[in-house]
Amino acid sequence: MNLSSILLTIINKLDGERTIYAGFHLLRGKRSGQTLQDVEYYGLKPFFGLLPKLRIVTFDEAANRLIELGYIATSDDSLVTVTEKGRLELSILPSYRFYGWDYRGREMIFYGRLTLTVQTMSNIRAGKKSFMPIQKDMNIQTFVKKLLYELPIKNPLFSRQVGEELTIGIIRSEMSDLQKVIFTHRLAGYGLSGWTWDQLAESLKLNPFTIRLMFIESLHMLLTVIESSTDLQLLQKMAADIKVSSYLTESSTKTKRLFDQGMSIEEIATARQLKVSTIEDHFVEMSINNTDFPLQMFVSEEETIAVIAKMNELGTKRLRLLKDEFKSLTYFQLRLILGARTGEGA
């Protein structure tokens, strides 16, 4: 697993209809209308916000590698496609188990809480009351303090109980053996320091970035399992508020509230002192995220069916091509149809 291969998978899904930087914005989790729309149309939720701090140079390196290897090619209008050679490569890549859409980098907060809890338990077990906390973030420290306050941490059996719960979680998550090693070595405790990315890379003979990606994936897998495991009580507490609960941007949420009160797009635009086009973006976002979005208020069912049929026939989701076929529909209407009726929400 590495950034290039993830990028190759993304480009493949984008189906030759976007420039390479759509991948960058996706990985960083940019909450713009365009990116959010892509996520839905092209089934890219797993990769959304996977690397919120990804640097453009790192991204460019990965992209250039794909070009050098001849896996991707860019057309004159900068759209990027996967080549035959790239397709061959894709067929041998393992599948990913990221859930970027749900976690968006927040899995690291969960990890922070977990490391600090483990470090605290480990020190208490060794009879140490003071130690340098591995997490300096105030929110994490406060969270863990509060969490442990309610628990029998002085009981010598309790730390083992924490260990057992974690073991069950790890096994259930079905992370790979390598991921188990990485995961447990990013935890630290009394007399047992954590391993840096470089140290893990050196001893596992892997690229540090690869290790980081594997780690993120293992956290996503663990978090998903924790969510449905009522018997993993402590882990469930640690995972509180980690999963994104509202998939709408803050601004879209406000728009939705006004819409639910019965305001029209124009009225909302006036009330919020925003451009109509911005409010329209919010509606597209709502069409993507809310299964009960009232599409029929904007376009008839017959038109919707016709657009979807055409889209399948042409094998494209490019708006301009669809617009040529349906001159009577606006771009806004087309976007709403695609939002509500394609991707996983459909």
Partner 1 sequence: MDIHTVLKNKFGFDQFRPGQEQVIQDVLEGKDTIAILPTGTGKSLCYQLPGYVLNGSVLVISPLVALMEDQVANMKRYGEKRVIALNSFLNYTEKKQITANLERYKFIFISPEMLLRKSVKNSIERLNLSLIVVDEAHCISQWGFDFRPDYLHIGEFFAYEGRPPVLALTATADKKVIRDIGHYLNLEEPTLHQYPLDRPNISYTIMDLDSETTKTRWIQQRLLETKGPGIIYVASRRRADDLSSLLQEKGLSIAAYHAGKEQEDRAFIQEQFISGEINWICATNAFGMGIHKIDIRQIIHEHIPQSIAGYIQEVGRAGRDGLQSAATLLYSHEDEGRTRFIIQGDIPTEKEIRHYTSLLQKNIPSDEAAEMAKITATGKRIIDYYLERMYLEEVVRRMEKLVQDKEFQLQTILRLIYSTTCIREMILTFFGESSIIKPESCCSVCGTVDDRWLQGPQVTNLAKRPLNWTERLIELLG
Q: Which is nearer to partner 1, 130 or 328 (CB)?
A: 130
| Closest CB 314 distance from partner 1, rounded Å | 42
Smallest separation, CB 137 to partner 1 (Å): 7
Q: How far is CA 31 from CA 54, 97, 250, in A?
A: 15, 22, 10
Cα within 13 Å of Cα(229), Cβ side: 23
Minimum CB distance to partner 1 smaller for 87 or for 160: 160
The set of residues, in sequence order, having a beta carbon less than 8 Å from that of 261 and lying 6+ positions away, is: none
Nearest approach, Cβ of residue 132 and partner 1 (Å): 7
Answer whether 243's CB lies under 8 Å from 103's CB. Answer: yes
DSSP alpha helices (H): ranges in the chain? 3-14, 21-28, 33-41, 56-68, 84-92, 100-103, 107-125, 138-149, 158-173, 177-185, 197-204, 208-227, 233-238, 250-260, 265-272, 276-289, 301-314, 319-325, 331-341
By beta-carbon proximity to partner 1, the closer residue of 199 and 290 is: 199
Q: How far is the CB of 278 from partner 1 (least distance, A)?
A: 17
| Residue 145 Cβ vs partner 1, minimum distance, rounded to whole Å | 7
Distance, in Å, from the CA atom of 200 to the CA atom of 207, rounded to the nearest integer, reads 9
Q: Which residue reads 């038109």 in tokens?
A: 303
Shortest Å, Cβ 163 to partner 1: 3
Find the helix or strand (DSSP H, E) in which 15 lies: none
Looking at the Cβ atoms of 132 and 297, the one nearer to partner 1 is 132
Nearer to partner 1, 2 or 199 (CB): 199
- Give the type of residue at 103: Y
**Residue 142 Cβ vs partner 1, minimum distance, rounded to whole Å:** 6
Using CB under 8 A as the criterion, which residues of the chain lie in contact with partner 1 when the complex forms? Answer: 115, 118, 121-122, 125, 129-130, 132-138, 141-142, 145-146, 156, 159-160, 162-163, 166-167, 170, 177, 180-181, 183-189, 191-200, 202-204
Is 130 or 291 the residue whose CB approaches partner 1 more closely? 130
* CB-nearer residue toward partner 1: 136 or 257: 136
Cα dihedral: 288, 294, 299, 305 (round 10): 70
Instruction: Return the bridge partners of 147, or none.
Output: none
